Amino acid sequence: MASSSSPSDLKTLLDSARPFLRGELESVDERLPSLVRVLRSVGAGECWHRHGTFLDHLLDIYRILKPWRAQDSVCLLGLFYSAYINSYVNLAIFDPSTGRDVVSRHVGEAAERLIHLFCVVPRQPLIHDDLLFHYTDSELVEHLKCSEVSVKNAKEKWLFDEEAAWRKKHIKTGEDVVVSRRLVAIFLLMTMGDFSDQHFSFQYYLFESFDGKLEFKGNDVAAGLWPGDGKPGLWMSSISRMGALYKRKRVGGEKVDEDRDEDLELVIPPVFENCTRVLDAGEQIKARDLYWEAVCDTSKRGLGRAEELLLRRTLLLEGHMSRWVSFICLKGSMKRLKERRRKGLPFSCSGGVLGTRGYLGKAGFLGQESC
């Protein structure tokens, strides 16, 4: 769910998205084309991924983080996050014998440090077992209220939450790895982008997450056969919860203390009302199912019925853009068309919901018209 955008915010999002739509990577970062060539040269484009190649996935994460205004080292983390073997998959971009200095020469020391930590820290237990699964939705909403108080205290009274750094075990050596509060926040931000790019319905049969909470309750390989039925995944509730935790962990001060990683800038992604809304898992399922009924039964029930269904709950990019298409087909008024455009474009340009990738092209065309 994208956040409400003013015209100036939308123009900023469009400006950040347009180079990706046009393939003008050098205008995003002059190093980006050469970095993509590096990834391609080590075979990232030859590894299968859920909706293309692994190189496609890495570029998509970068494309999500950049419009979120993440700092350069964090965007490069997204592009190279699997440089080394990590806790999710035994898939490393570079040969295991490749030294950290090689990666550092490509992306710089600051980004390489983040990439290395992201790969050696057991991310699944940290993000889910230690954080997400410890809180109910109502507790997260309460924490969001507390975070606003914390930000106010930090700015006005120089009072900071001195939460101790986490210590996690290195996935290969078993040694302690210190993970600061702000580094945990970066891991949350990265996971939000990662999951939003790659989760589809077949994974929910695989994980037996039928309640929409993404709690990895099972491993039903037979039921979760790729690519499944093509439905959008039920990941948005989980991502909204990550956003609430992220916002809670981003309190910092003006004085930089490198031991606490306060040189890491923690931006607020323009999704879920700027990470202030926790999406109920049941509401997510209802919205997804209404969208699916609308797009699958149009030939039987007509566009009028599809529009009616889409008007009830629209949390997905596909829903907003489908409503735009239906208004055109029904010769809807220009006012309604512009309203659909206004609501649908932030979804696409912020990268918060990538969903059906073909709509990005339509959104780019429509955005060009609006500017």
Average pLDDT over residues 163-167: 66
Q: How confident is the model at residue 335 (pLDDT cuts 50, 70, 90)?
A: low
- Give dist(CA 152, CA 154) in Å, integer: 5
What is the amino acid identity at position 12?
T
Question: Within 10 Å of residue 179's Cβ, how many Cβ atoms?
Answer: 18
Q: Cα dihedral sign for 350, 354, 356, 358?
A: positive
- Residue linked to tokens 């203390």: 257
pTM attached to this predicted model: 0.80
Please say whether the beta carbons of 13 and 270 come within 8 A.
yes
- Give dist(CA 236, CA 242) in Å, integer: 10
Q: How confident is the model at residue 3 (pLDDT cuts 50, 70, 90)?
A: low
Best CA proximity match to 316, nearest among 88, 2, 51:
2
3-state secondary structure of 102: helix
Tokens of 152: 């106010």
Residues in the chain: 371
Query: Which one is predicted more confidently, 164 or 68?
Result: 68
Alpha helices (runs of H) in the chain, residue ranges in sequence order: 7-22, 25-28, 32-41, 54-65, 72-79, 100-107, 109-120, 123-124, 137-156, 181-198, 201-206, 236-248, 272-275, 281-296, 298-301, 303-312, 317-329, 334-350, 358-370
What is the amino acid identity at position 226?
W
pLDDT digits (tens, 9 = 90+) for 221-261: 888 788 888 888 888 899 999 999 998 776 443 343 445 68
Domain residue extents for the chain:
31-120, 121-199+235-279, 287-370
pLDDT digits (tens, 9 = 90+) for 107-155: 999 999 999 999 989 988 889 988 899 889 998 888 777 766 554 544 4
- Nearest 5°: the CA angle 104, 51, 25 is 45
CA neighbours within 13 Å on the CB side: how many for 255?
6
- Give dist(CA 168, CA 307) in Å, integer: 49
Tokens of 228: 């499944």
Query: Which one is predicted more confidently, 65 or 348?
Result: 65
- Burial string for 65-89 (b: 16+ CB within 10 Å, else e) reads bbbbebbbbbbbbbbbbbbbbbbee
Best-predicted range by mean pLDDT (26-35, 146-155, 164-173, 304-313): 26-35
Question: Within 10 Å of residue 263's Cβ, how many Cβ atoms?
Answer: 13
Q: How confident is the model at residue 362 (pLDDT cuts 50, 70, 90)?
A: very low
Q: How confident is the model at residue 355 (pLDDT cuts 50, 70, 90)?
A: very low
